[in-house]
Amino acid sequence: MSLAQPAVMATRAMPKDPLAALALLPLIPPPLSAGEVRAVVRAGALNHHDLWTLRGVSAVPLSYPRVMGSDGAGDGVLFYPVLGGCQDPSRCYGCSHDDLSLCERSSLIGESRDGTLAPSVVLPADHVVASPRHLSDIEAACLPSAYLTAYRQLFRAAQTGAGDTILVTGATGGIGVAAIQLGSALGARMIAQIRTRAQPRAVDIQAAGQAGGAEGFADDLADDFAVEKELLALGADRVLTLDDDVKSQVGPVDVVLENVGEATWKSSLRALRPGGTLVVSGATSGANPPADLRRIFWRGLRVIGVSLGSRSDLEHLVSFVEDTRMRPRVAAVYPLEQAREAFTHLMRGRVLGKIVLQMESSADLSVAPITGSP
C-alpha cells in the first residue's frame, strides 16, 4: 500500500483570491502506466503560470484537486515541462517534429496531470533529462520553464551570436533574468530594460534576501537602484528605463526580447536595426499593441513568437549551462510547509530570479489522503 506524501495542490478555481485555493494535502502517488516513470523531486520552482492555475485560467480544461508545479529536479535529473495532447500526433506539426511546445493541444505538467510540487512525480519516461552536473537540485529546478524559454528566444528564434546587442524588456522577470544570464554567457552585449530608476541609497542586499524566513535575494529590495546593481552583476552591460531612448544610449540593437507587450512594443520596434529580430514571449502589459506594419516591412524586421521550447532545446540548454558553468538566479528558497508564504512572495512581484520549494516535509497530514491523477 502506498503511503501518502505531502503535495501543494490547487483545490478549486479562485479567480479573485487565488491563494484561497492553495493547500498542502496528502497525496497517494498513482500507479505507473506504460511508458511512465516515478521520479524523486527534491526541489520545485514556482512560476506565474501556477497562479493562473489557482485562478482557473488555462488553455486546457482543468480538474481539481491538482498537484501544482511544472518545474522540478531531483537526484541529478530535471523534468521537461510540456505535454502533448493530440489524439493523432502524426497530424500535428509540433508532435510530428518532436516539439511539444508547438502541439495544438499542448499543456504543462501541473495542468493536465499532477505536477512537481510534491516529493515525487509520475511522468512520461522521455520527460526526464540529466541536470547540469555542477548545479544543485534547487538550481536545476529553475531551468525547465523560464530558462528554456530564454534559450529558445536566443538560440533558436534570434540565432544570437557573440557580440550581438540584445535588448531585454521586462528584465526583472523570470525570462528576462534568464535571458541576461544566458546571453552574457554567450558573449552577447545585454541591455536590460526596467520601468524606473530610483535614487541610490544604502541597501543591505544579504539582509534583505533573508527576510521573511526565505534564503537568498528578496523581491522587495529597498529601491530599483539595488535591482539595477543586481542586473549588472548577473551580466547586463547596461540598464535602461522605459524613459530612456535606446538608440541614443546604446545604438540600434540586433535583437529585442519582448516580454512586456503593449507598453514596450513601439519602442522595441524602433530600437531594432534594419533586418533585426523581435522575439515575443510575453504580453503582461497588454496583448494588442499597434502593429506598426510599415516599420516592420520597410526595415525588414523579423517578428517571432516563442513559448517554452522542445525537449531537444532543454537538452541543449543543459549542455550550454554545463559548458559555461552558469548558475540560475535563485531568489528565495522555502520549505514545502511554507508553500503559502512562497506563493505570497511570488504574488508580491519584483522577484529577481526564481522562488523554489524544497520538498522535504515534516508537516502533519492527518486528513484523508487524495489519490493522485495521471
Superfamily (CATH H level) for 145-305: NAD(P)-binding Rossmann-like Domain (3.40.50.720)
The residue-averaged pLDDT of 24-36 equals 90
Under 8 Å CB-to-CB from 294, ≥6 apart: which residues? none
The reply to whether the predicted model has a pTM over 0.85 is: yes
CB proximity list for 30: less than 8 A, separation 6 or greater: 114, 122, 371, 372, 373, 374
- Rounded to an integer, what distance in angstroms lies between the CA atom of residue 129 and that of residue 108? 16
* Residue environment code for 187-223, b if the CB has 16+ CB neighbours within 10 A, otherwise e: ebbbbbbbbebeeeeebeeeebbeeeebebbbbebbe
| Domain chopping of the chain, boundaries | 5-142+328-371, 145-305
Average pLDDT over residues 158-170: 95
81-137: per-residue pLDDT in tens?
999 878 788 888 888 888 888 888 888 999 989 999 999 999 999 999 999 999 999
Question: Could you read off the pLDDT of 236-246 as tens digits, one per residue?
Answer: 999 999 889 99
CATH code for 5-142+328-371? 3.90.180.10
Do residues 182 and 326 lie in contact, with contact meaning Cβ atoms separated by under 8 Å?
Answer: yes
Grid cell in block for residue 87: 489524439
Closest CA to 141 of 336, 11, 305: 336
One DSSP character per residue, 197-260 reads: -PPP----HHHHHTGGG-BS--SS-S-HHHHHHHHHHHT-SEEEETTS-HHHHH--EEEEEE-S
Q: Which tens digit of pLDDT belongs to each residue from 315-372?
A: 999 999 999 999 999 999 999 999 999 999 999 877 889 999 999 754 444 444 555 6
